Amino acid sequence: MKAPSGALRRFRFVTLIFWAQFCKKTMNKLVVGNILYRPVRSAISVFAVAIEVIMILSIVAIMMGQVTNAANQTGGIGADIMVQPPNASMITAMGGAPVPAAISSVLAKMPHIAVASPVILDLTTAGAVQTIYGIEYDSFNALKPFQYLAGAPFKEPNDVIVDDLYARGHHTNVGDWIKVANFAGTYHVCGIVEHGKGGRVFLEREVLGSLLGTPHNASIFYVRSDNQANEQAIIHEILANPNLSTYHVQTLEEWMSMMTPEHLPGFNTALHVVIGIAVIIGFLAIFQSMYTAVMERTREIGILKSLGASKAYVMNLVLREAVLVAICGILLGTLLTQAIRVFMGAHFATTPFLISNQWRFQGAGIALAGSVLGALYPAWKASRKDPIDALAYE
């Protein structure tokens, strides 16, 4: 048999390309038409995927924001070393004051220690999750000076210092009287400082200690060295003291390296549970939508197959519809999450809401994958329909 001429081969190639483009355009019109034909069901599916995206991004933003904020706030204190009571952890050190504050004077006399400041950390969930700091002003300010936006340091025992985010979120000004956690009475706002130096609310250490029933104790000691090169020598000196040998001593750099989801008990588990629930919501929404659509379009599928549509073509048609719905849901969910972020920044400034681009892409990928999985069975069922039975379907 004579081989086709070059002109014939080019004609066949052009015809094939034209046919492929025609089929693609026809399929895309069918996909869009199917979505627009049933707008209510399509809108519900889009919103279900959007809710999935909002759940993933919002929970991640709040949880990761808390971790990142805690690390940034502590890093801004100005300390090089943290000295905690025996058996303390990054969590247990935030409640109670189990050790004498006078230990700070012992630390201050050690070689290479420039400042040692005793602090009470009281974790509270009243109104919002926050840590109230009880400080000895002079030593704590010596670690790294407060940057005042208004007001001045403590003058009276009932004075309180707040940071600018707390002041903005609670509409607080210097001279106002505010409640602090669940403690009795109100406290006079004497100063507003820039955020980033430990906590958002500061009381005098003895005042907070008295409220907790331990006026002469502390939760933790922040130490600043005369030179960061002497940090290990300071740690060795502290642990060599018989009265401090059981204390937990670490550099701030070491502590910061532990403030990751992998090192926080139950953090990743909780995150995965929330993401799993969100994926199930998106999966079921797309599954229900596509399965119902396939059942309603039995006759249409029969017509397509009688015209020569293959099983792959029918599956592709259903999956494309699911992907288009998912993309619309992802875009809507991302925009609504951004709106939530703006709302949180305006009304809940002290609650960190951190959304990284990495999680935006991960959230979109998770939602898209869940939607495709939800559409696989309906697509397979549609491709298996017999054209004769489908055409006879009423």
Q: What is the pLDDT of residues 17-47, one digit of tens each?
A: 444 444 445 455 655 666 666 777 778 888 8
Nearest-angstrom CA–CA distance, 195 and 166: 9
The per-residue pLDDT for 62 is: 81
Q: What is the mean pLDDT of residues 130-154?
A: 93
Residues 226 and 306 in one domain: no
Inside any domain, residue 197: yes
Q: Of 152-161, 237-246, 265-274, 321-330, where does mean pLDDT reach its minimum? A: 265-274
Mean pLDDT on 176-199: 91
Q: Is residue 23 part of a domain?
A: no
Phi, then psi, of 181 in degrees rounded to 5: 55, -135
Task: Identify the pLDDT of residue 335.
Answer: 93
Coil vs helix vs strand at 227: coil
pLDDT at 19: 40
Least confident among 68-77, 154-163, 193-202, 363-372: 68-77
Nearest to 221 by CA among 249, 200, 241: 249
The encoded tokens of residue 233 equal 């020598």
Is 5 within a domain? Answer: no
The mean pLDDT of 173-190, rounded to a whole number, is 92
DSSP 87: T
- DSSP assignment of 249-314: EEEHHHHHHH-SGGGSTTHHHHHHHHHHHHHHHHHHHHHHHHHHHHHHTHHHHHHHHHTT--HHHH
Question: Which residues on neighbouring strands pair with residue 248, listed in sequence order?
Answer: 84
The pLDDT confidence band at residue 13, using thresholds 50, 70 and 90, is: very low
pLDDT of residue 91: 52
- Confidence check: pLDDT of 11 > 70: no
Q: Which of 197, 213, 246 lies at the terminal end of a domain, its last residue?
A: 246
In a domain, 24, yes or no: no
How sure is the predictor about 7, in pLDDT bands with cuts at 50, 70 and 90?
A: low
Asked if 92 and 62 sit in the same domain, the reply is no
Residue 155 pLDDT class (50, 70, 90 cuts): very high
Paired residues of 250 in beta bridges: 82
Which of 375 and 9 is assigned the larger pLDDT? 375
Residues 49, 118: one domain? no
Q: What percent of the chain has pLDDT over 90?
A: 32
How many domains, in total, are found in the chain?
Answer: 2
d(CA 33, CA 49): 20
- Cβ atoms 390, 305 nearer than 8 A: yes
Cα distances (angstroms) measured from residue 217 to each of 100, 135, 136, 235 = 4, 11, 12, 22
Do 234 and 271 lie in one domain? The reply is: no
Q: Say what the pLDDT of residue 270 is.
A: 78
Say whether both 294 and 380 belong to one domain.
yes
Residues 144, 82: Cα–Cα separation, whole Å:
15
In-domain check, residue 147: yes
Same domain, 240 and 274: no
Q: Could you tell me if 272 and 240 lie in one domain?
A: no
Across 115-138, average pLDDT: 86
215 and 315 housed in the same domain:
no
- Examine the domain organization and report whether 180 and 220 are in the same domain: yes
Mean pLDDT (whole number) for 71-85: 87
**Identity at 293, one-letter amino acid code:** A
Extract the runs of DSSP E, i.e. beta strands, from 12-110: 81-84, 99-100
Q: Is the pLDDT of residue 94 over 70?
A: no
In a domain, 202, yes or no: yes
Predicted local confidence at residue 18, as pLDDT: 45
Angle at 117 between CA 193 and CA 174, to 5 degrees: 20
What's the burial of 197, exposed, middle or buried (CB within 10 Å: 0-12/13-18/19+)? Answer: buried
Q: Is 81 inside a domain boundary?
A: no
Q: Say what the pLDDT of residue 314 is.
A: 74
Looking at the fold, whether 181 and 59 belong to one and the same domain comes out as no
* Domain, as residue range, for 51: 29-67+267-391
Nearest to 390 by CA among 292, 291, 304: 304
In a domain, residue 198? The reply is: yes
% of the chain with per-residue pLDDT over 70 = 79
What φ, ψ does residue 264 adopt, rounded to 5°? -95, 125
277 in the same domain as 144? no
Residues 349 and 276 in one domain: yes
Q: Which residues contact 151 (CB under 8 A, 6 or more apart)?
A: 161, 174, 189, 190, 191, 192
Is the model's pLDDT at 2 over the cut of 60? no
Q: Quick one: the chain helix, strand, coil %, rounded to 5?
A: 60, 15, 25
Q: Check the CA dihedral 38-40-41-45 and report its sign.
A: positive
pLDDT value, residue 137: 95
d(CA 332, CA 54) in angstroms, rounded, equals 9
Range from 18-22, 70-74, 175-179, 389-393 that averages highest in pLDDT:
175-179
Q: Kindly tell me if the per-residue pLDDT of 66 is higher than 90.
A: no
Report CA-CA distances (Å) from 27 to 208, 322, 372: 69, 13, 18
Instruction: Pick the last residue of a domain from 246, 281, 301.
Output: 246
